[in-house]
């Protein structure tokens, strides 16, 4: 049971890591917590579901279908995040608006996207089709769900791809420069609008992948984006603005959640998680990574 819970927790934590890293990336560039990510996740989860229903009639291979669904959700996440940047954040950044407006704008966009999904798909619950014929495989003496293994492997792949972009490409170099001061990168010949849009698109892509995984793990419903709170908690535990801290915090959160569900049930587990988070932040307010970032909102 111990090994089983640890493996399940790491798998769940890897999905939270995608959300938390998206938070950390935007926090580094724009210095605020982007809660519109929840709405993006909801829309992408439904986009993946629609893609699965349509493509299942044309694709015979389950693995190809699963890959196509993930690609559709990731692409839709990138496009929606770019639209969110253009509609909700660009004017605020150019007019150097008060920091609190970034936070309000992100919350508003998140709620707007969820309500659009409610209008489109109503409040009914949907379930993703079963992509894999084998539900579990034996590993380390326990049975591990194939879905959990795929979530872990693909989440790690997505995070490694993000690190490659950030540290091995010119776009990544520009985004890292924008993390220091997004307004002065223009003096170095960079386009701040492009860099911020790319950061949002990367965050949206990660949100799209996590939206599909959450939709597969839970029932698909319009308020699925509220799971973004888990990513925010992981980001706070890891240290706001720290990407590697966000990953560590997310895995820790996933393992804690699985153990608390096993000990006290799914109803009480969130209560204990937030108590642990509060206690941890009282002892170490800078999070695991110990990073200090001046937050706008």
Which domain does 183 fall in, by range? 1-126+136-224
pLDDT for res 159 = 84
pTM, two decimal places: 0.88
296 pLDDT band, cuts 50/70/90, is: very low
The burial class, CB within 10 Å (0-12 / 13-18 / 19+), for 173 is middle
Nearest C-alpha neighbor of 105 from the set 17, 199, 34: 34
The helix/strand/coil state of 294 is coil
Q: Answer whether residue 274 is part of any domain.
A: no
Q: Is the pLDDT of residue 291 over 70?
A: no
Question: What's the rounded Cα separation, in Å, for the pair 128 and 216?
Answer: 6
Question: What's the rounded Cα separation, in Å, for the pair 32 and 20?
Answer: 13
Instruction: Give the least confident one: 145-154, 208-217, 282-291.
Output: 282-291
* Main-chain phi, psi angles of 283, to 5 degrees: -80, -40
How many domains would you assign to the chain? 1
Q: Answer whether residue 280 is part of any domain.
A: no
Q: Answer whether residue 159 is part of any domain.
A: yes
Q: Answer whether residue 276 is part of any domain.
A: no
Q: Answer whether residue 91 is part of any domain.
A: yes
Q: Answer whether residue 103 is part of any domain.
A: yes
Q: Answer whether residue 96 is part of any domain.
A: yes
* Main-chain phi, psi angles of 93, to 5 degrees: -70, -40
Q: Answer whether residue 290 is part of any domain.
A: no
Find all residues with CB under 8 Å of 165, minimum gap 6, and list them. Answer: 171, 172, 202
From residue 190, alpha-carbon distances to 26, 79, 186, 203 in Å are: 18, 22, 5, 20
């Amino acid at each position: 049971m111990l090994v089983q819970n640890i493996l399940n927790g790491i798998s769940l934590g890897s999905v939270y890591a995608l959300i938390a890293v998206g938070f950390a990336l935007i926090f580094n560039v724009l210095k605020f917590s982007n809660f519109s990510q929840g709405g993006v996740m909801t829309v992408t989860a439904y986009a993946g579901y629609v893609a699965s229903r349509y493509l299942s009639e044309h694709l015979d291979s389950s693995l190809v279908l699963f890959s196509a669904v993930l690609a559709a959700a990731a692409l839709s996440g990138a496009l929606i995040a770019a639209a969110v940047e253009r509609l909700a954040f660009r004017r605020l950044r150019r007019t150097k608006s008060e920091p609190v407006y970034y936070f309000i704008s992100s919350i508003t966009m998140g709620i707007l996207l969820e309500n659009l999904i409610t209008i489109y798909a109503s409040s009914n619950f949907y379930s993703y089709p079963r992509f894999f014929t084998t539900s579990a495989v034996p590993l380390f003496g326990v049975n591990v769900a194939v879905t959990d293994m795929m979530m872990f492997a693909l989440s790690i792949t997505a995070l490694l791809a993000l690190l490659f972009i950030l540290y091995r490409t010119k776009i990544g170099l520009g985004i890292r420069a924008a993390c220091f001061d997004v307004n002065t990168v223009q003096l170095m010949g960079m386009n701040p609008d492009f860099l911020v849009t790319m950061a949002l698109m990367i965050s949206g892509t990660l949100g799209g992948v996590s939206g599909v995984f959450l939709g597969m793990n839970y029932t698909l419903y319009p308020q699925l984006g509220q799971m973004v709170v888990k990513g925010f908690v992981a980001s706070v535990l890891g240290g706001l603005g720290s990407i590697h801290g966000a990953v560590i915090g997310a895995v820790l959160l996933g393992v804690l959640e699985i153990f608390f569900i096993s000990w006290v049930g799914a109803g009480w587990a969130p209560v204990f998680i937030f108590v642990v988070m509060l206690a941890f932040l009282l002892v170490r307010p800078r999070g695991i990574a110990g990073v200090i970032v001046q937050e706008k909102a």
